[in-house]
Amino acid sequence: MQHKFIRGKILHFLNNSNDELDYEYFADGLLEIANGHIARIDHWHHFQDQLSDLSQVKHYTDGLIMPGFIDAHMHLANLDALATPADELFSWLNNYIFPAEKRLSDPDYATKISEFFIQQMLHNGTTSAMVFNTIYSHAVDALFNAAEKRNMRLITGKTVGDRNLPDYLLELPEAAYIESKHLIQKWHKKPKTRLLYAITPRFVPTTTDALFEQLSQLKIEFPDLHVHTHISETVKDVEWTKTLTGLSSYLSTYEKYGLVTKGTLLAHGIYLTEDEMQRIAKANAGVAFCPTSNLFLGSGLFNLQKANACHMQVGLGSDLGAGTSFSLLQTLNEGYKTLRLQEQVLPALEGFYLSTLGSAKALGIDNYVGNLECGKEADFIVLDLLGATPLIKRRMSMATTLEEKLLILMMLGDERSICATYVAGKMQYNREVGIN
């Protein structure tokens, strides 16, 4: 078996049962990779004497090695509707997003956009994601194919909806069940891949009880499926849902159909009540904090402090499309400001936790990825600590502590700060050479 050795500064977060942020930092560390997994993580000086041939070691002298970023919520089709004018969520969906999804009815376009989407993820250091797809099965195939090519751990699924949508995005509940089931059997945990399927109702306003019953049936038949949907994103969203269901809690509908379990990701959750947050925490489900989207659409400010107090699992999402960047560094930048507007803080270490282990836990994939513990899948990135731009270089040269450097990266960094992206131990992006 071929072993790989990567040397540099290493930071990752540890999975512990208490609420403390627990991390491990190696000022000069080494990762040993075998068979696509982490075989060992240690200080360089512990390894040094055991390596007969130092030329096998790839040394990033100014690099910070971290687990790959995990984007807890993005939309494939929104890529070509980026930066379209939005005065609020629903008009933006009607004017730009539904037509953008329709474009994926063309299989050739679906293949091309999927390739570009995955390349952009890797370029930005994102090695895993949960991605909203479209109603079209061939587009689900296209994204899974693009991820399979790079051996990525990616979660997607066919978006389903049967009310309050344009005709071209509507389907009958039975058809949604049959098509979803076919895709599940084709892709979910497909041998020799890292692909996972998510049951994907867009949100309550576009899903009738009849369709929810079909989705509930799928979850019973395949209990380890993920679930991906939206919740309590805007004031109007919450009010409309209450009117449609007659229920006071948005979450109750998802609960009623058995769709809130470990592996369920609810995007946004800005207007969740404390009680709902506690129920999500108890169910081991997660919520995606999507600050660039929430600010772009003017949806509101996610209350991370309240979520943490309720022990709710929170990950970081670009919500690409409404979100304005693939970069989770840029996403953290806006997350920081979102919290400042509520007199809360986002220390850099917590930010980097959210974008790695936090997202992995929110998606229920932390047994595979999210940190660099022995046995985990070897998805990692190398961040440029010297400074990817003259401005970052200048600020970095003044920083002395790890926290200061991380804050500079998260406020000033973007894809230019990603030196390399490794997926299952294999380099898939290198800033000097480009994308694989």
- Give residues in contact with ligand GUN (CB under 6 A): 75, 89, 93, 97, 202-203, 230, 233, 293, 319, 322
CB of 293 to ligand GUN, least distance (A): 5
Q: Given the complex with ligand GUN, which of 233 and 377 has the nearer CB atom?
A: 233
Question: Using an 8 Å Cβ cutoff, are 315 and 308 in contact?
Answer: no
Per-state percent for the chain, helix, strand, coil, to nearest 5: 45, 25, 30
Least CB distance to Zn ion at residue 411 (A): 24
By the rule CB under 5 A, 71 interacts with Zn ion: no
Q: Which is nearer to Zn ion, 32 or 319 (CB)?
A: 319
| Residue at 326: amino acid letter | F
Q: Within 13 Å and on the Cβ side, how many CA atoms surround 194?
A: 24
The entry of Zn ion, ligand GUN, none near residue 203 (CB within 5 to 8 angstroms by kind) is ligand GUN
Comparing CB distances to ligand GUN, the nearer of 252 and 389 is: 252
Would you say 161 or 387 has its CB closer to ligand GUN?
161
Of 22-30, 192-200, 313-321, 391-399, which part binds Zn ion (CB under 5 A)? Answer: 313-321
For Zn ion, which is the closer residue by CB, 211 or 288?
288
CB of 425 to ligand GUN, least distance (A): 34
Among Zn ion, ligand GUN, none, the one that 4 touches (CB under a kind-dependent 5 to 8 A) is none
Query: How crowded is residue 100: how many other Cβ atoms within 10 Å of its Cβ?
Result: 22
Choose one: 43-51, 318-326, 374-382, 416-424; the region binding Zn ion (CB under 5 A): 318-326
Q: Is the dihedral angle over the CA atoms 295, 299, 304, 305 positive or is it negative?
A: positive
* Backbone conformation region of residue 323, classed left if phi is above 0, alpha if psi is from -120 to 50, else beta: beta
* Total number of residues that touch Zn ion (CB under 5 A): 2
| Shortest distance (Å) from residue 139 CB to ligand GUN | 14
In our burial notation (b when 16+ CB lie closer than 10 A, e otherwise), range 179-203 reads bbeebbeebbeeeebbbbbbbbbbb
Q: Which is nearer to Zn ion, 267 or 270 (CB)?
A: 267
Nearer to ligand GUN, 89 or 396 (CB): 89
Contact status: 319 vs Zn ion (CB under 5 A) = yes
CB within 8 Å of 104: residues ≥ 6 apart:
76, 77, 110, 113, 134, 136, 139
Cα-Cα-Cα-Cα dihedral of 313, 314, 319, 325, to 10°?
-150
Tell me, what DSSP letter sits at residue 5? Answer: E
Q: Is 32 in the site for Zn ion (CB under 5 A)?
A: no
Q: Are the CB atoms for 321 and 81 separated by under 8 Å?
A: yes
Positions in 250-269 near Zn ion (CB under 5 A): 267
Q: Which of Zn ion, ligand GUN, none binds 89 (CB below 5-8 Å, type-dependent)? A: ligand GUN
Nearest residue to the partner Zn ion, using Cβ: 319
Choose the one of ligand GUN, Zn ion, none that binds residue 158, judging by a C-beta under 5 to 8 angstroms depending on kind: none
Name the 3-class secondary structure at 59: strand
Contact status, residue 187 vs residue 197, Cβ threshold 8 Å: yes
**Residue 276 binding result from ligand GUN, Zn ion, none, given CB thresholds of 5 to 8 Å by partner type:** none
d(CA 110, CA 234) in angstroms, rounded, equals: 29
Q: Which does 141 bind (CB under 5 to 8 A by kind): Zn ion, ligand GUN, none?
A: none
Question: Minimum CB separation from ligand GUN for residue 233, in Å?
Answer: 5
Do 310 and 281 meet the contact criterion of CB atoms below 8 Å apart?
Answer: yes
Q: Which is nearer to ligand GUN, 214 or 294 (CB)?
A: 294
Q: Could you list the residues that contact Zn ion (CB under 5 A)?
A: 267, 319
